[in-house]
């Protein structure tokens, strides 16, 4: 055998050995887990012995999210900031953050139906997207302790939302929630509940089963409970623990929660419906006079009509705006003494 043949055989042997070593290492994952040779910087692996193996259940959810939202990410490990331990996804920061590294740079509009497969996730951040609902499988996230999903367009929660009994922090602020399911009373470990700036007109009596500090504010100036900026106006539809709470009419600054805001319930539409105030009675004193005209003219000039307590009584012509046409309409009916007719 000549030297070249020997050299070729040795090189082939070395290559086979290297490939086999790689195969053994790359396949050193249990069934249901996938090996990744390179882990991106946005992924933090807490277990040194994880061996680059990641749960197929968790990866499938991330892949589905990419697909249903047509995201530009190539790998499930590219989405947001991820913390893994025991080969499972534990913390996922997927807040919409177009200019930096603290989330994802594209808005999502839908969570995939298999979202419940993230069965060991502890903290989930899905703020500032265009989500309108949560899939029914969301209620399967039995390990979820912290949910931050503010500044979306969510109108309702799954009926079995109360199955998330590990929750301690629930931030639903700045959404479009019209109702809260009865099962919320099952969240036995809940310590913080933010419901402010939604579309709520009522709350279930079961909410009073929660062991919350309904009046308290912590050392970081976070309320334990807050529900200002809703339409909670009918006392018959509001449980006593809510209506008697010191935090009934507070909210927080919208984007960073950097300070508490006074945010009364928006009861103007309710007052109109119940006949407690009428179109044109802008100051709510029960009559139509020059004070209403002056109040309306001033708020139109200052662009502050939406800040009036009875703002909804100021749009006299029903065009959805506050302008000189409303002032003229009100002035004429005051002069002719036919307002409200």
Rounded mean pLDDT of the chain? 91
The CATH number of the domain covering residues in 33-268: 3.80.10.10
pLDDT for 47 = 82
Phi, psi dihedrals of residue 145, rounded to the nearest 5°: -105, -30
Judge whether 33-268 and 277-336 match in fold.
Answer: no
Alpha carbon separation from 11 to 4, 6, 8, 320 (Å, rounded): 10, 9, 5, 80
What count of other Cβ atoms lies within 10 Å of the Cβ of residue 140? 18
Query: Can you give the residue ranges of every domain in the chain?
Result: 1-30, 33-268, 277-336
pLDDT tens-digit map of 210-220: 999 999 999 99
CB-facing half-sphere around the CA of 233: CA atoms within 13 A: 16
- 99 vs 96, residue with greater confidence: 96
Look up residue 217 and give its DSSP letter.
B
- 100 vs 59, residue with greater confidence: 59
Q: Which residues contact 128 (CB under 8 A, 6 or more apart)?
A: 95, 96, 97, 107, 150, 151, 152, 255
pLDDT tens-digit map of 137-165: 999 999 999 999 999 999 999 999 999 99
pLDDT for 27 = 59
Q: What integer is the mean pLDDT of 286-295?
A: 93
Q: What's the token pair of residue 148?
A: 């931050």
224 alpha carbon, distance to own chain's centre: 17
User: Has residue 4 got a pLDDT over 50?
Assistant: no
277-336: CATH homologous superfamily?
A: Dockerin domain (1.10.1330.10)
What is the end-to-end Cα distance of the chain in Å, rounded? 113
Instruction: Tell me how far apart the alpha carbons of residues 205 and 183 are, in angstroms, rounded to a whole number.
Output: 10
User: Has residue 24 got a pLDDT over 70?
Assistant: no
pLDDT for 6 = 38
Taking the whole predicted model, whether its pTM rises above 0.85 is answered as: yes
H/E run at residue 198: none
Diameter over CA atoms, the chain: 118
The fraction of the chain above a pLDDT of 90, given in percent, is 83
Instruction: Tell me how far apart the alpha carbons of residues 43 and 22 are, in angstroms, rounded to a whole number.
Output: 22
Phi, psi dihedrals of residue 161, rounded to the nearest 5°: -55, -30
Q: Are strands 88-93 and 81-85 parallel, antiparallel or unpaired?
A: antiparallel
**Rama region for 222: left / alpha / beta (φ>0; ψ in -120 to 50; rest):** beta
Q: What's the token pair of residue 100?
A: 């930096």
């Amino acid at each position: 055998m000549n030297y070249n043949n020997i050299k070729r055989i040795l090189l082939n042997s070395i290559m086979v050995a290297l490939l086999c070593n790689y195969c053994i290492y790359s396949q050193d994952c249990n069934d249901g887990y996938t090996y990744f040779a390179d882990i991106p910087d946005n992924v933090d692996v807490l277990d040194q012995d994880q061996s680059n193996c990641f749960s197929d259940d968790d990866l499938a959810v991330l892949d589905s999210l990419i697909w249903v939202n047509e995201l530009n990410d190539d790998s499930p490990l590219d989405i947001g900031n991820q913390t893994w331990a025991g080969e499972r996804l534990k913390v996922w920061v997927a807040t919409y953050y177009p200019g930096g590294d603290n989330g994802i740079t594209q808005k999502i509009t839908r969570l995939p139906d298999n979202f419940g497969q993230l069965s060991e996730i502890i903290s989930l951040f899905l703020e500032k997207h265009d989500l309108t609902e949560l899939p029914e499988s969301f209620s399967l996230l039995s390990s979820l302790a912290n949910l931050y999903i503010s500044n979306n367009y969510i109108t309702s929660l799954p009926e079995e939302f109360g199955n998330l009994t590990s929750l301690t922090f629930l931030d639903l602020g700045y959404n479009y929630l019209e109702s809260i399911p009865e099962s919320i009373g099952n969240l036995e470990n809940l310590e913080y509940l933010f419901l402010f700036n939604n579309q709520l007109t009522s709350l279930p009596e079961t909410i009073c089963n929660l062991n919350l500090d309904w009046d308290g504010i912590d050392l970081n100036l976070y309320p334990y409970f807050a529900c200002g900026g809703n339409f909670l106006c009918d006392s018959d539809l509001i449980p006593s623990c809510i209506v008697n709470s010191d935090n009934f009419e507070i909210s927080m600054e919208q984007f960073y929660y950097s300070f508490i805001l006074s945010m009364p319930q928006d009861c103007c539409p309710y007052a109109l419906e119940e006949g407690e105030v009428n179109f044109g009675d802008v100051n709510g004193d029960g009559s139509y006079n020059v004070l209403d005209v002056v109040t309306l003219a001033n708020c139109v000039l200052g662009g502050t009509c939406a800040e009036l307590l009875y703002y909804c009584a100021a749009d006299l012509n029903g065009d959805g705006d506050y302008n000189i046409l409303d002032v003229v309409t009100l002035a004429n009916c005051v002069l002719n003494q036919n307002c409200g007719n």
